[in-house]
Amino acid sequence: MAIADEELTYPGPAGSECPWPLLEKLRAEASVYELPYRPGVYVVSRYADVRYILGNPQLFSSGGVRAQLSGFDLIDVPSEDDRVMNESDDPAHALKRRIGFAPLKPGRLKSYEPLILDLVDELIDRFVDDGRVEFVNQFAQPLPARLTCRLMGVPLEDEDFVRSWGRFESSGLAWMDDEFKQRQRSNSAKMLEYLTKLIQARHEDPQDDVISAVIKEQVDRDNEFHLADVRAQCAILIGGGVVTTAHFLSSCMRMLVDDPTQMARIRSDFKLIPNMLEEGLRLEPPSMWQPRIALQNVEVGGHKIPAGSFLLMMFCSANRDDRKFESPTHFDVTRKKAKEHLSFGYGAHFCLGAPLARLEMKIGFERLLTRLDNIRFGPNNDFKHIPSASFRGFHHLQLEFDTTPVS
């Protein structure tokens, strides 16, 4: 099937505002599509095919995939130990994942609830009397950044630094210009330096925080401290959750405010909030796609893929595949099986932070909807998304509301 060059704007910042018509066309007519301008790179757009790739890591590797796809190393990775878990394959991946999981175990997660509640209420306190809020900068971005700082043991005055950490393009770097790449490389160096100091301090003087928990887990496993491994896993625990959660909070709020019927359903039963989040994630994944490399000649959706090819798994398209979801573009907070979306990935690399993100977003919406009534769009919203190759989120979202008594 021929797709005109000018139509092929996604992946890439140029097409990030509205990739949906192109993705629909690909799903219908060219579900595994080799990009003419990047031979050997295939866009995979149907649900069954994306899930097949995610479910077969022995055929489709994550090993160093993002640097290989962009031909650009953000950081030097001198050894396998220095790789972050989502850039490794098993068995190394499983070992790294285990040390990253320590601070996110269900028991520990439960203990974070009071902190999350405090952070959410503190942010709402700052704007609740104004009757309006610029939601992206006053709530959606600071919440995950502050939570990450508090959990990791990063000083709160470095919140802005942590926020910038999350603004990384790693999967989509190939589609960004040279200036962006160089800026990102120098930011990476600063972050690694910062993290190195913090980890060394925690190694000498452990605290009740995530960095200390990761160090303990790594030392228990290997009987000696290995800075590079700890640093890589802490880097993704920080970077993985800040921008994704922030983008999604705003996207989900926009969908809800835009649809009074769904808003009324949620307001009448807060128990629907977790399903609303899954349904929102299905329609507006903050991380739109992720890459893999074929380890051998393989077939995907009936297409022959040579070994060494890159496969771009379009979660954003898979989630709107009508072979899987009925009326896929409809936002329905009561949709059954909404949770089967692929926005957190699937299988071996399934998002390690998903339970934390779900908890944080649930508490966030519960408190917002309790304390803000009649939420509506404010003036001057352009609903423009950031120009990114792989992330999706708003620059700004102006809201107005009536205040309800605190409860």
Binding site for ligand HEM (CB under 6 A): 62, 85-86, 97, 100, 236-237, 240-241, 244-245, 248, 285-287, 290, 343-345, 349, 351-353, 356-357
| For ligand HEM, the closer CB: 141 or 343 | 343
Rounded distance, CA 60 to CA 83, Å? 17
Strands 310-314 and 41-44: parallel
| For ligand HEM, the closer CB: 87 or 332 | 87
| For ligand HEM, the closer CB: 52 or 248 | 248
Angstrom distances, CA of residue 395 to CA of 17, 138, 258: 12, 12, 17
| For ligand HEM, the closer CB: 8 or 213 | 213
Shortest reach from residue 106's CB to ligand HEM, in Å: 14
Strands 32-34 and 132-134: unpaired
251 neighbors 284 (Cβ within 8 angstroms): yes
Shortest reach from residue 3's CB to ligand HEM, in Å: 25
| For ligand HEM, the closer CB: 27 or 349 | 349
Shortest reach from residue 100's CB to ligand HEM, in Å: 5
Rounded distance, CA 215 to CA 206, Å? 9
Shortest reach from residue 406's CB to ligand HEM, in Å: 27
Rounded distance, CA 352 to CA 85, Å? 10
397 neighbors 134 (Cβ within 8 angstroms): yes
| For ligand HEM, the closer CB: 8 or 50 | 50
Rounded distance, CA 60 to CA 377, Å? 43
| For ligand HEM, the closer CB: 13 or 345 | 345
Shortest reach from residue 1's CB to ligand HEM, in Å: 27
331 neighbors 259 (Cβ within 8 angstroms): yes
Q: Count other C-beta atoms under 10 Å from residue 384's C-beta.
A: 10
Residue the block writes with tokens 């797709």? 3
Q: Which residue is nearest to ligand HEM (CB)?
A: 353
CB neighbours of 89 closer than 8 A, spacing ≥ 6? Answer: 57, 61, 62, 63
Shortest reach from residue 5's CB to ligand HEM, in Å: 28
Q: Which class for 262: exposed (0-12), middle (13-18), buried (19 or more C-beta within 10 A)?
A: buried
| For ligand HEM, the closer CB: 362 or 395 | 362
Shortest reach from residue 251's CB to ligand HEM, in Å: 10
362 neighbors 274 (Cβ within 8 angstroms): yes
Shortest reach from residue 287's CB to ligand HEM, in Å: 5
Q: Which two tokens stand for residue 406?
A: 């605190």
Shortest reach from residue 241's CB to ligand HEM, in Å: 2
Instruction: Answer left, alpha or beta for residue 396, where phi above 0 means left and psi between -120 and 50 means alpha.
Output: beta
| For ligand HEM, the closer CB: 8 or 198 | 198
Q: Which class for 303: exposed (0-12), middle (13-18), buried (19 or more C-beta within 10 A)?
A: middle
